[in-house]
Chains A and B, each alone.
Chain A
Amino acid sequence: MPVSLKSPLAARVAIVLASALFLFALVVRGAKPAPMLRPEDQPTEEPRIEQPMQLLARGAALRVGELDRWITKEQLPEWKAVRGSVFSLAGCPETLDWIETAEGQRFERCVASLRSGTRDEAFAALVLVFQLARSTEWKPGMLGHTQHAERVGALLEGWLRAWSGRAAQDPLLVEPSLAALLLYGRVMRVAWRAPVVGYNAAPYERARALISEVVGESAGRTEFGQAFSTRHPTAARSLASSLDILEGFEDECATLYPKLSGDCEER
Chain B
Amino acid sequence: MSAQTHTQALARPLQADRAAEWLIALGALMIGSGGVLLGVQVDANRGFSGTGYAAFALGGVIALVSTIVRARGSQGLPRDFHGAFAALAAFLGLTFVAGGVLAPGGPWMFAEFAVLLMLAMRRPREGSRWISSGALWLMVALFVFRLWITYQGGRNHWQVLSVPIPILSWLPFDFLAPIQSVSLGSFTPWELGLPPAGVDFPITLGLWTGGFALCSAGIFVVQLAAREHENDRVHDVIHTLPAPLAGLVERLLPEEEWETLGLHGLATRMLCKRIEALVRERAQRQRDITAAVDRAHLLRLSHTDGFSGSIQSAIVDFESGADRRAEE
Take A8-B21, A22-B92, A236-B156 as given contacts and tell me if A230 and B28 are in contact as well, using a CB distance cutoff of 8 Å.
no
CB of B39 within 8 A of CB of A36, answer no
Q: Which residues of chain A are within 8 angstroms of B39 by Cβ–Cβ distance?
A: 25-26, 28-29
Residues of B186-201 whose CB lies within 8 A of A? 195-198, 201
Q: Which residues of chain A are within 8 angstroms of B26 by Cβ–Cβ distance?
A: 14
Cα separation A216 to B52 with both chains bound (whole Å): 29
CB of A33 within 8 A of CB of B49, answer yes
Q: Which residues of chain B are within 8 angstroms of A3 by Cβ–Cβ distance?
A: none
Kindly state the interface size class of chain B when it binds its partner.
35 or more
* Other-chain contact of A10, B22, B51, B85 (Cβ < 8 Å): B22
CB of A25 within 8 A of CB of B35, answer yes
Determine chain B's interface SS by DSSP, over half rule. Answer: helix
CB of B197 within 8 A of CB of A219, answer no
Q: Which residues of chain B are within 8 angstroms of A90 by Cβ–Cβ distance?
A: none
CB of A233 within 8 A of CB of B156, answer yes
CB of B174 within 8 A of CB of A244, answer yes
Cα separation A265 to B31 with both chains bound (whole Å): 65
The distance from the CB of B179 to the nearest CB of chain A, in whole angstroms, is: 14
Q: How many chain A residues have a CB neighbour from B under 8 Å?
A: 42
Take A15-B28, A33-B197, A243-B172 as given contacts and tell me if A28 and B40 are in contact as well, using a CB distance cutoff of 8 Å.
yes
Q: Is A201 an interface residue (CB 8 A)?
A: no
CB of A30 within 8 A of CB of B197, answer no
Q: Is A102 an interface residue (CB 8 A)?
A: no
Q: Is B32 an interface residue (CB 8 A)?
A: yes
CB of B32 within 8 A of CB of A34, answer no
CB of A29 within 8 A of CB of B51, answer yes
Cα separation A183 to B198 with both chains bound (whole Å): 24
29 contacts between A and B (CB under 8 A): A6-B18, A7-B18, A14-B22, A15-B85, A17-B32, A18-B25, A18-B31, A18-B89, A19-B28, A21-B29, A21-B35, A22-B31, A22-B35, A22-B92, A24-B36, A25-B32, A25-B36, A29-B53, A32-B50, A34-B195, A34-B197, A226-B44, A226-B197, A229-B198, A230-B197, A230-B198, A237-B155, A240-B155, A244-B174
Query: Interface of A with B (CB < 8 Å)?
Result: 5-8, 10-12, 14-15, 17-22, 24-26, 28-36, 218-221, 223, 226, 229-230, 233, 236-237, 240, 243-244, 247
